[in-house]
């Protein structure tokens, strides 16, 4: 079996169009994270595909850049073979794969770490409210009485406002860390990217949401001004995003994974279910 390398973005997307509708597997998503020393490839082995971003300096590769999922798609039985061939033929020292699936590797030398992504079922508002944790319901009740706004802004206008909030938060909390500003600007060019804001006067919470598929919205990043945390504006923001998803016919709100127990508990308090995310180091 011969390993093919697909570089053209159009060919990349056409090859996967019948296998997955997720933004996280499309060439546009990998382009967001590209730098002069990184190269994007879609590998093909018969009817099995593996998207990769190669670091040409360290000879490492990622399937599923930061905050997203990747891994083999198509003929699942060829997963281990395509990974093995990719590492050998591309002369890689390591492949990191963030996968929603258990790849069931056996012959490869690998390490796997498990985290949980929290997914809220957007069935109807009444059912969602019933599933909320008691503390979340109590804080949300206070937030709904706060007279906060909710706004969704796309593109350049959205990223400018979001970056302004990021920089303000950094001044308030020096320990706060976030990605390079250039990354947010690249994501803002995606049609699927939404910048959501809630607040009142100078107190504001923001979130970068991705419409990753026809049925799922994904919480990719969030930020809160110092006072917004005390006023539960972040709770109001999440609730408003849930309402936004319901109105537009989305079925799931994916709050993403977290290695921190307290943050995971917070996400679960929205009545969602935990789904295992596998991080492989091969």
Predicted confidence at residue 230, as pLDDT, reads 84
3-class SS letters over the chain: CCCEEECCHHHHHHHHCCCCCCHHHCHHHHHHCCCCCEEEEEEEECCEEEEEEEECCCCEEEECCCCCCCCCEECHHHHHHHHHHHHHHCCCCEEEEEECCCCCCCCCCCEEEEEEEEEEECCCHHHHHHHCCHHHHHHHHHHHCCCCEEEEECHHHHHHHHHHHHHHHHHHCCCCCCCCHHHHHHHHCCCCEEEEEEEECCEEEEEEEEEEECCEEEEEEEEECHHHHHCCHHHHHHHHHHHHHHHCCCCEEEEEECCCHHHHHHHHCCCCEEEEEEEEEC
**Which pLDDT does position 107 carry in this prediction?**
80
> Residue 174: what pLDDT?
64
pLDDT digits (tens, 9 = 90+) for 93-151: 999 999 999 998 988 889 999 999 999 999 999 999 999 999 999 988 888 888 999 99
**Does residue 229 register a pLDDT over 90?**
no
Computed over every residue of the chain, the mean pLDDT equals: 93
pLDDT digits (tens, 9 = 90+) for 152-205: 999 999 999 999 999 888 877 666 666 788 999 999 999 999 999 999 888 999
Summarize the confidence of residues 19-31 as an average pLDDT.
97
């Amino acid at each position: 079996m011969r390993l093919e390398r697909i570089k053209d973005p159009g060919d990349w997307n056409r090859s996967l169009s019948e296998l997955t509708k997720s933004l996280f597997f499309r060439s546009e998503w990998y382009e967001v994270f590209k730098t002069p020393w990184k190269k994007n490839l879609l590998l093909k082995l018969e009817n099995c595909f593996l998207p990769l971003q190669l670091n040409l300096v360290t000879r490492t590769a990622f399937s599923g850049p930061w905050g997203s999922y990747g891994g083999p798609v198509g003929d699942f039985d060829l997963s281990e073979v395509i990974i093995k061939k990719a590492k050998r033929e591309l002369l890689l020292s390591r492949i990191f794969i963030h996968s929603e699936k258990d790849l069931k590797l056996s012959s490869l030398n690998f390490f796997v770490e498990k985290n949980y992504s929290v997914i809220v079922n957007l069935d109807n508002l009444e059912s969602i409210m019933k599933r909320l944790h008691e503390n979340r319901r109590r804080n949300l009740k206070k937030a709904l009485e706060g007279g906060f706004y909710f706004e969704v802004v796309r593109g350049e206008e959205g990223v400018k406002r979001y970056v302004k909030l990021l920089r303000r938060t950094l001044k308030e909390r020096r320990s706060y860390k976030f990605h390079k500003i250039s990354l947010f600007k690249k994501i803002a060019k995606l049609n699927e990217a939404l910048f959501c804001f809630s607040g009142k006067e100078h107190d504001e919470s923001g979130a970068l949401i991705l419409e990753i598929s026809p049925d799922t919205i994904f919480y990719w990043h969030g930020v809160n001004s110092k006072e917004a945390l005390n006023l539960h504006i972040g709770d109001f923001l999440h609730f408003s995003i849930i309402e936004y998803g319901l109105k537009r016919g989305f079925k799931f709100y994916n709050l993403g994974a977290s290695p921190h127990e307290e943050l995971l508990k917070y996400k679960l308090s929205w009545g969602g279910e935990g789904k295992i995310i596998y991080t492989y180091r091969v």
